[in-house]
Structure 1
């Protein structure tokens, strides 16, 4: 987990340094907090209730319409009790990197990949993630609908709604 966070910080510092050099022309770098809600699907919905998360996201404009994005956060899904089986709550730290492409002025599509670190008693360890999404961004407000899948000992997927503000 520490390697993932350190790698993310190193990438973000590199991006910040590059973005500072181009600040004189246009605002090419933004960073800000986000909140998200997740609604489990498949087997994950049998063992866990809807969850929520918080985090910090950043982006850097590359070329017309294309933006590099990244985020690190925390997600929590409370475990269910089913047939006298108590499922442990999922506490997860996702680290995502990806690309966003602007289709028309405020509408975009996005694809992210990365790592997910399961903490606590549920499925402890590190896995991979993939998260395609579609959203709108108006000024600093960013609202996205997505599907996110975590791959470790099976697939843990959920539909999500993410809202954030970038400075």
Structure 2
């Protein structure tokens, strides 16, 4: 867990230093976001709605195309229930997704985005490293960024969810 926080702090420091060097170009932005995930499929049978918080950044490449990246912390609470008189509890799922991708502006405020990356499971009962893919569509207006996406995590099966993400970029 200490390694994850150290990595998060390092990425944050590098991004903040980049802001100063690129602020005059207005090609770089960074900002916090919150997100909610609504599990689907087998993942929806075992876990409740998840919530996350993170930090995202982007760098404009060419007209309409932007490189994006983010680091966040996500938590899905486990469900409990019983089948044929046998009780069961699914453990909470705590993860740190690190995403990199591309965003393309269809029109001035509407964009499509695809991201890939890794997801670090940090829970007591389930840990390790997996992969992720996250296509989405969103609106960005004057720094306010709202996105709808589907995100899938791959490790010992697939855990997928539909997500809503809202943030502000400086």
Taking structure 2 as the reference length, what is the TM-score of the superposition?
Answer: 0.88
In terms of mean alpha carbon deviation, does 83-92 or 120-129 score higher?
A: 120-129
Paired residue for 2:26? 27
Give the Cα separation in 1 of the matches to 2:112 and 2:76: 26
Aligned counterparts, 1:55-134, within 5 A: 55-83=54-82, 84-134=87-137
Give the Cα separation in 1 of the matches to 2:151 and 2:117: 11
Structure 1 residue 120: Cα displacement: 1.3
In terms of mean alpha carbon deviation, does 114-123 or 11-20 score higher?
A: 11-20
What secondary structure, in the 3-state scheme, does the structure 2 residue paired with 1:44 have?
A: helix
**Unaligned segments of structure 1, at least 5 residues:** none
1:48-70 C-alpha deviation (Å, 9 max, x unpaired): 00111000000000100000100
Asked if the contact 1:94–1:116 (Cα under 8 Å) also holds between the matched residues in 2, the reply is yes
Paired residue for 1:141? 144
* Total equivalences in the alignment: 165
1:89-108 C-alpha deviation (Å, 9 max, x unpaired): 00110000110000001000
Taking structure 1 as the reference length, what is the TM-score of the superposition?
Answer: 0.89
Q: Cα RMSD over matched residues?
A: 2.4
Give the Cα separation in 2 of the matches to 1:3 and 1:122: 17
Structure 1 residue 122: Cα displacement: 4.4
Give the Cα separation in 1 of the matches to 2:16 and 2:101: 14
Paired residue for 1:154? 157
